[in-house]
Chain A
Amino acid sequence: MFRFVPILICLCVVFLAPGLAKVVDETEIDQKVREIAKTLRCTVCQTENIWESGAPLAHQMREAVRERVIQGQSTEEIRAYFHSRYGDYIMMEPPKQGVNWLIWLTPFLLLFGGGALLWREVKGWVTRTPPSQPPPALDEASRRRIERELQQDKRE
């Protein structure tokens, strides 16, 4: 009977542990800070946003975002503030304006342009290739020879 006690304890731990875990309550402010921080680039890191970066400057920027959220500023106001200080570089996604449209549109233009060019070239090859001719009809002598050889094969 007592040999089952350790198993029971293990089962209790496994099933009760999630219930005992500390519940991390993310407030509305935390959520908004996270959403905004994820759209801002850490200016001293390589392609990392300020939410995920461990750099001291990123930490300060997160705090600056939090302060502004607490002050009641909107997401756009906060993003505009950072943009006014650091320019387009701070944005994880370059703003869709001016010369930045090149970044957004060039890949699609190249894809469609390349696709259209490829389609036109392939179509040209198909048009230029003459239709394949049917093989010449088998003459009577050859047909008889083939039949004879097949008969021989069957006998052997």
Chain B
Amino acid sequence: MTRTTQITMLVVLLALLSLFYQGLWGDPRHIPPVLVGTRAPVFEGPDVESGEPLSSEQYKGKVILVNFWASWCQECKVEHENLLRLYDEFKDHPEFVMVGINYQDEIPKARAYLQRYGSSFPHMQDVKGALAIDFGVYGVPETFVIDKQGIIRHKWIGPIVDNVYTNLTKNVLTPLLSDPTPAT
């Protein structure tokens, strides 16, 4: 076996080992968020509590935080208090909107959930999960941030707790709300 062949084999082996390493020690739950950086889908549906129609069109030109949740989801209960705190923190900003999307739930149960844990921002029904598929949702809770131009800027799979909360408010929402670029 020549020296060149030996070196080639070593390079191939190292390349394969690095791929295995990535596969074994990478986070299997990490899925590249393909929708980040693309235009957010239009979403509309009845309000969970009042039944009145809600549409993303009415929030056009604002920074929208969209949170997918369900009454049967345990992790949603974990983050719910933080969502209320987050809304309180930003609600006075004229360009901030927060919408919950109730994913594949029974409406009476969703209403009971909101009554029990509190509700300060509107929640849209997505009984069939069609909105969730439009947003490429894997499960609940999932949170998206849409900028004033209607582009999805951030996606988080899992509850908004601890560092996730800090990152979302300090590094995502605050810069987007202070962005002087006019809305389209």
Which A residues have a C-beta under 8 Å from some C-beta of B? 43-44, 56-57, 60-61, 63-64, 82, 84-87, 89, 110, 113, 117, 121
Contacts and interface: CB of A to CB of B under 8 A. Distances in A.
Looking at chain B, what size class is its interface with the partner chain?
20 to 34
Contacts of B35: 85
A39 B143 CA distance: 28
Nearest to B138: A43
A44 B104 contact: no
A85 B135 contact: yes
25 contacts: A44-B139, A56-B104, A56-B129, A60-B129, A60-B130, A60-B132, A61-B133, A64-B130, A64-B133, A82-B133, A84-B34, A84-B38, A85-B135, A85-B136, A86-B34, A86-B136, A87-B31, A87-B34, A87-B136, A89-B31, A89-B32, A110-B12, A113-B12, A117-B5, A117-B9
A81 to B, nearest CB: 9
Among A86, A87, A113: residue with most chain B CB under 10 A = A86
B134 interface: yes
Nearest to A56: B104
A110 B5 CA distance: 14
A84 B5 CA distance: 43
8 closest cross-chain pairs (CB), A and B = A87-B34, A60-B129, A85-B136, A86-B136, A43-B138, A64-B133, A89-B31, A87-B32
B138 A85 contact: no
Interface string B111-135: 0000000000000000011101111
A117 B139 CA distance: 48
Contacts of B135: 85
B7 interface: no
B138 A44 contact: yes
A85 B31 CA distance: 12
